[in-house]
Amino acid sequence: MALSSFLSGPGWRLPRWPGWSRLPREGRDTLFLLGVIGWTVLPHVPHLPAWCTALTALMLLWRAALAVGNGPLPGRWLLVAVLAVAAGLTFMSFRTLLGKEPGVTMAVVLMALKTLELRARRDAFVVFFLGFFLVLTHFLYSQSLGVAVAMLVSVWGLLTALVLAHMPVGQPSLKQAARLAGRTALLGAPIMLLLFLLFPRIGPLWGVPKDGVSATGLSDRMRLGQVAEVALDDRVALRLRFEGAVPPPQSLYFRGPVLAAFDGSEWRPLLPHFPPAQQPQAELRTTGPALRYEMTLEPLRLPTLPLLETSPTAPQIEGYRVRRSQDLQWLVDRPLAERLRFRAEAHLRFEHGPREPLPGLQDYLDLPAGFNPRTLEWAAALRREPGLANAGARELAQHLMRHIREGGYTYTLAPGEYGRDAIDEFWLDRKEGFCEHFAATFVVLMRALGVPARIVTGYQGADPQPVDDYYIVRQSDAHAWAEYWQAGSGWVRADPTAAVAPDRIQRSLRLAAPPGLVAGTIAAVSPQLMQRLRAAWEAIDNRWNQWVLNYSRGQQFDLLKDLGVEAPDWQTLATLLVTALSTLALIGAAWAWWDRHRIDPWTRQREALLAALRRIGIAADAQDTPGTLARRVRERHGSAGEPLAALLETLQAQRYGREARRTPDPSLTRSFAAATRSLAATTSR
């Protein structure tokens, strides 16, 4: 009984909502600021620990309730205790208080805590600038167009709150403050554009590489089921624009990490056991004309360029050293943590690798002992069959492809979990798998048959229709295929997926996960609408990438050439930037000087009113409010001064009321002058 009585006490009652128009100004401005903070924090939720999201929401709701009910703010020691708990939870979550993730987490907590200290304008300014800092932290995770638009709204909201803090008198509307904030931002837009165009490009500001598996799909390791997980991701991996004819989908193989070391459960890059002279090298032999294309590559966070097979020459990428490995990968000197755009060329008809046997090919025959015994027995029995005992690598590969095509295998995104001997279980029992199941099993079988083989990962295919002249390759195009060694030819591509699911390779028909509620509803209403909406958004996003995110040092120098600079360099760029900023600063100083000497129209009206009141004997000083002056008029002139007093009260409402005007009312000034003359004439009789 006592507990229920305590919980129903006045301290635990939620304040009643009085209506937006009836809120006092302080409460209204506080709720607006809390809404802006919530909007700014919201995109961070996927990157924050669950406790941080819950704690931040609780503190913002608590502050909103205090603003509505005009309740007292909590004491400082309570806030210190919450901060200590948050720091401890941050350390438990990340094992450190340093770095990007713990730093952003603590910044969000500090922002929410600071709203519970909004006692003075100084506290509000701290919240504003914490908000601006939090806006910047979003670009540590993403620089996409969607994030940029969301943060533009946040900046506008924070500027509006800042304008309200600098308008302490009266009841300025949110609309009025938002317009002023928007005009102020537009005045700064030329400077922002100038800095964007001319500030020296010093590399990826936000590119902080991550350890381990690639954040965008490809990896330098592979377990069965891993590529299927990537195939559920529909994000863009890269974009292509071809010069000339577009190759068919079955020719679009983008070579990524090559995996040849197998420990029974995981495939990794090979660590050779033979000296370099005895290892197979990337001896590339091409035929036919080169296919030229432009690629926009999303951050892979791997030092691998998934170029179209096969590229005979290294692309020129500013700020990176590019080299070709012995297994025909194109590698760069550090993980790719930024979006890249470059030109490259490829030959779709090629051979590579040694034509004659080398000792190093033995590395591509290794199989872990004790794993998948039934598959090895199956391969040994195959070798004993008439006609295959002395068959070459090509005949054996064709036989395996035919077995996959006719053996009742199923290509699926959800093959389920496999056990220790996954190859045995897939090949001989369940017969359900994704591309990596087929590729890994093919390589194991070829090795068991005495043929060197390895796995190649990357992407295969693209969207059938271009978007804004660019063909899109998605993470769902992630793929794994095989290569085996054939005497006289070198390494030969073999894609077992083409045997079980030819439409996946020939027509780029991907397996897709069931759509979500919104996407499924749109697709049910109009099957083509979802595709058109996605294509339109990706076209806009691609232009954002090309014009903004890919603006590089080379484009800066091209801009200087267009401005007439024959041989632009860093010194020229810096000189032009300093000159332009100095010119804008002088223009701003001249405008400020001119604006300082203007007379505020409210001040001009007030001085005229005070002078007129003094002429009729009313004591009127600069610190007196219109309401105080109206009371003095009534005290001195009684009913005769009522019209003049009413005008003064109207002025009070126009200047300081809820519907305060931005500029004086000229008709009120004229009426005031007429009322003053009438009162003076009346009192002189």
Distance, CA of 267 to chain centre: 31
Would you kindly state where each structural domain of the chain is located, as residue ranges? 2-170, 222-506, 517-544, 553-596, 601-684
pLDDT of res. 574: 77
Mean pLDDT value of segment 658-683: 75
Residue 512's pLDDT band (boundaries 50, 70, 90)?
low
Query: Does residue 304 or residue 629 have the better pLDDT?
Result: 304
Nearest to 278 by CA among 358, 186, 173, 195: 358
Query: Does residue 204 or residue 311 have the better pLDDT?
Result: 311
pLDDT digits (tens, 9 = 90+) for 439-483: 999 999 999 999 999 999 999 988 888 877 889 898 888 899 999
Angle separating helix axes 553-562 and 570-596, nearest 10 degrees: 70
Residue 216's pLDDT band (boundaries 50, 70, 90)?
very low
> Looking at 243-252, 363-372, 527-536, which range is the least confident one?
527-536
**Distance, CA of 159 to CA of 156 (rounded, Å):** 5
pTM given for the model: 0.62
pLDDT of res. 10: 44
Q: Which residues pair with 223 in a beta bridge?
A: 266
How many CB atoms are closer than 10 A to CB 199? 12
Judge whether 157 and 39 are in contact, CB under 8 Å: yes
Judge whether 255 and 306 are in contact, CB under 8 Å: yes
pLDDT of res. 531: 66
pLDDT of res. 201: 63
Mean of per-residue pLDDT scores for the chain: 81
> Looking at 33-42, 144-153, 162-171, which range is the least confident one?
162-171
**Distance, CA of 265 to CA of 137 (rounded, Å):** 39
Mean pLDDT value of segment 43-71: 86
Dig out the tokens for 216 from the structure: 């965008």
> Looking at 334-348, 412-426, 553-567, which range is the least confident one?
553-567
Residue 565's pLDDT band (boundaries 50, 70, 90)?
confident
pLDDT digits (tens, 9 = 90+) for 240-296: 999 988 999 899 999 999 999 999 889 999 988 888 888 888 888 998 889 999 998
Residue 356's pLDDT band (boundaries 50, 70, 90)?
very high
pLDDT of res. 396: 94
List Cα–Cα distances, 393 to 36, 77, 238, 354, 448, in angstroms. Answer: 66, 76, 34, 15, 12
Nearest to 258 by CA among 159, 174, 326: 326
**Distance, CA of 366 to CA of 259 (rounded, Å):** 13
**Distance, CA of 128 to CA of 144 (rounded, Å):** 24
**Distance, CA of 438 to CA of 426 (rounded, Å):** 9
Residue 24's pLDDT band (boundaries 50, 70, 90)?
confident
- The secondary structure of 397-459, three-state, reads HHHHHHHHHHCCCEECCCCCCCCCCHHHHHHHHHCEECHHHHHHHHHHHHHHCCCCEEEEEEE
pLDDT digits (tens, 9 = 90+) for 653-669: 877 776 666 677 777 77
